[in-house]
Amino acid sequence: LGRLPHWLRGLDARLVLHCHDELLLDSVESDGPAAATALAGCMTEAWERLFPEAVMPGICEARVGTTWASAKG
């Protein structure tokens, strides 16, 4: 999470909540997909830095929605 601001640079998005293994970002609608991509990239990078020998394709997923419930699917 410490590198998340770097990943979100240039986007109108911010972390508003983290709860156990879920993170909630708030962004303008037009930045939603890019913010989701940035979050997934940040979390994947963190995994790879901590566990360089543990290959885990799809270690995290990020979704876009107008509410937390709609983003959870």
| pLDDT tens for each residue of 6-60 | 999 999 999 999 988 889 999 999 999 999 999 999 999 999 999 999 988 888 9
Check residues 38 and 70 and name the one with the higher pLDDT: 38
pLDDT for the residue 20: 86
Q: Counting beta carbons within 10 angstroms of the beta carbon of residue 47, is it exposed (0 to 12), middle (13 to 18) or buried (19 or more)?
A: middle
What's 30's DSSP letter?
G
pLDDT for the residue 36: 97
Residues in the chain, overall count: 73
pLDDT of 72 strictly over 90: no
What is the spatial distance between Cα 29 and Cα 56, in angstroms, rounded to a whole number?
A: 30
